Amino acid sequence: MARNYLQALAKALSKLAGPLGSPLEFFLSLYQDKQTQKRKAELDEMIVEGQNLSRETLAEIFEARSEIKELREQFILEMEIGFSILAKNTALISSSDLEESLPGLMEAYKEKLEASGLITYEVLADELYKYYEKDALLFLAHISPYFPVGEVHSCAALPVIISDFLTRCSGKELKQQAKIFNALSKKNPGSEPLKVKSLMLQEQVINQIGE
């Protein structure tokens, strides 16, 4: 049972976050295999009994191999909301409609998740606009070492440029994405979302190399 709803949560949250959003499915892959069944049993029991799956409780249950605090915090934040939804809709856990139903239920929590630090497509777009609102050319200059700026409508309004960039960037290889967001993070050291996104991509690249 747990395997199904964990995967369903991952897919629903990935859909909510959108392209370049927080990689919950990636974090799930970092589980220590020998503890997987133990985690599933714990979650099953707690949900069925209606116990409170707090952030602290989830942090204890989910022990991943990631050393990046920001990535771990993103995961726990997402799972906290996800399990609170399941606790209110326990019939969904064994339902064949679980994967179809969860995205709609998650949507109502999107603003809360973003306010708590969840990285979504919209969060990245807003953050880039905030830092480059007065200078679209500076934005293009900052991404140009690792991103072909000819792929975006560089003469358009900044929101259009950013949208083009994020859409096309999401289709690039992880290593290239990591270089792009690492550059953006360094150019804008005050941006927490850009920093977290850069760290998440670096972690994904490291694990991809190790496969």
Give the span between the Cα atoms of 120 and 4, in whole angstroms.
24
Number of domain units in the chain: 2
Give yes or no: residues 127 and 101 share one domain.
Answer: no
CA distances to 20, 34, 56, 198 from 174, rounded to whole Å, are 10, 28, 31, 11
Q: What does the block give as tokens for 50?
A: 């209606």
Give yes or no: residues 17 and 102 share one domain.
Answer: yes
Give yes or no: residues 142 and 86 share one domain.
Answer: no
Of 115, 148, 182, the last residue of a domain is: 115
Neighbours of 192 (CB within 10 A): 12
Q: How far apart are the first and last CA of the chain?
A: 28
Neighbours of 114 (CB within 10 A): 17
Of 66, 90, 115, the last residue of a domain is: 115
Give yes or no: residues 12 and 102 share one domain.
Answer: yes
Tell me the per-residue pLDDT of 98-124, one tens digit each, with 9 for 90 and over: 778 888 888 888 888 888 788 899 999
Of 55, 86, 115, the last residue of a domain is: 115
Tell me the per-residue pLDDT of 36-52, one tens digit each, with 9 for 90 and over: 556 666 666 666 666 66
Give yes or no: residues 205 and 148 share one domain.
Answer: yes
Give yes or no: residues 168 and 106 share one domain.
Answer: no
Provide the pLDDT for residue 83: 79
Give yes or no: residues 110 and 132 share one domain.
Answer: no
Per-residue pLDDT band for 27 (boundaries 50, 70, 90) equals low
Give yes or no: residues 50 and 125 share one domain.
Answer: no
Domain range for 13: 2-115
184 contact partners, CB below 8 Å, separation of at least 6: 128, 142, 143, 191, 194, 198
Reply yes or no on whether the pLDDT at 2 is more than 50.
Answer: no
Give yes or no: residues 69 and 130 share one domain.
Answer: no
Give the span between the Cα atoms of 16 and 141, in whole angstroms.
30
Give yes or no: residues 11 and 87 share one domain.
Answer: yes
Give yes or no: residues 97 and 18 share one domain.
Answer: yes
CA distances to 12, 114, 127, 211 from 77, rounded to whole Å, are 14, 10, 20, 27
pTM for this one? 0.75
Give yes or no: residues 138 and 199 share one domain.
Answer: yes
Mean pLDDT, range 190-208, rounded to an integer: 86
